[in-house]
Structure 1
Amino acid sequence: MDDNIKLYSEIEKYEIININDGEKYSSIENNDIIIDDSGNMKSLILGDNKSGFSLFSKSDFFEVPWQFVKKIGARTVIIDVDNSIIKKNRL
């Protein structure tokens, strides 16, 4: 297998860190990835770390376009995105 290819099963426990503001998000397995019909990564869906967990409230999440994923390292996914670009949504 090509050394530059990483399987989802390998990266699902990687933490996500935004080097723009130092924010640390949970691992990929606790977030999501949007993939288009051609199999290209379109964006990361990240849960809002500040919203907390509640059975009775809606969850906030951020949509980060894949172009802001800068590096997939040994144990982390590095993103570099400003808050003004992140789309905030609520489920």
Structure 2
Amino acid sequence: MDIKEFISENKVFLKKLVYLGLVVLLLSFWVFYNIFRINIGFEVYPSWGYGILTALGFTAGLLTLIYFLVEYREVISEKTSKIIKR
């Protein structure tokens, strides 16, 4: 599947994923910045850097997980139904 085909087929899902990603990025930056600034006691400038890096990593991982769960939900539901039937 070409990337253009994928984008054209999943526009609505990708748009929702982008909005969700921005919200998660903002909230996770706020949390991680406060952790580095208040709990660990870093200065302001390193806290910004570490907060941005950890928020980007957390958001990328979470969005990847959401994408794969949505993309492979049929496979997951088939496997869980087989496990439940046992």
TM-score normalised by structure 2 residue count: 0.26
TM-score by length of 1: 0.25
Greater C-alpha radius of gyration: 2
- Larger proportion of strand: 1
Which of the two has greater helix per residue?
2
